[in-house]
Amino acid sequence: MSGKRRSLFGLVAAVVIGVAAMQGFSWWSRERLGPQVAAGAQPGDIHMIASVTCAYCAVARAWFVENSVPFTECEIERDTDCAATYNALMAPGTPVLLVRGRRLVGFSPQSLADALATPRTSNPATP
């Protein structure tokens, strides 16, 4: 194997190992936070504004169910009040999580845990 090929192979191997490590950490983090979020969430604390075509909404929904996290949900295509709330929040996409009056765009178990750890805020857009 020539020196250039060996260097390229080494670079590709390093990238593959790095990506695998990041994916493993991400999985571990999601798994670790499930019980913490479930313990801190009460019914009514988490409301997800979703879209029927949103893949991240499906991931969030599955994570909530898998970890027994209480949440409510509405879909902007099927519920006019939901669409109005979504538009009022001027969110750039779905899911939008309303967590104790705090708006989170996207799904991140860590952001969710952080939001549940902070005191409740008042937000007129919260359903």
Q: What is the pLDDT of residues 41-84, one digit of tens each?
A: 999 999 999 999 999 999 999 999 999 999 999 999 999 999 99
Task: Output the pLDDT for position 119.
Answer: 73
Task: Output the pLDDT for position 121.
Answer: 61
Task: Output the pLDDT for position 31.
Answer: 64
pTM of the model: 0.71
**Stretch among 17-21, 68-72, 85-89 having the lowest mean pLDDT:** 17-21
Structure tokens at 82: 């939901």
Residue with tokens 């950490």: 25
Structure tokens at 105: 């765009």
Domains parsed from the chain with CATH numbers: 3-117 (3.40.30.10)
Task: Output the pLDDT for position 41.
Answer: 95
SS3 123: coil
| Residue 27 reports pLDDT greater than 50 | no
Q: Are strands 102-105 and 72-75 parallel, antiparallel or unpaired?
A: unpaired
| Residue 29 reports pLDDT greater than 70 | no
Q: Tell me the mean pLDDT in the region 72-97.
A: 98
Structure tokens at 97: 């999580």
Residues 6 or more apart from 20 whose CB is under 8 A from it? none
| Residue 93 reports pLDDT greater than 90 | yes
- How far apart CA 69 and CA 38 sit, in angstroms, is 5
Backbone angles phi and psi of 67, in degrees to 5: -100, 10
Task: Output the pLDDT for position 6.
Answer: 67
What's the length of the chain? 127
Q: Tell me the mean pLDDT in the region 113-117.
A: 95
SS3 127: coil
Please count the CA atoms within 13 angstroms of the CA of 83 that sit on its side-chain side: 6
Q: Are 113 and 40 in contact (CB under 8 A)?
A: yes
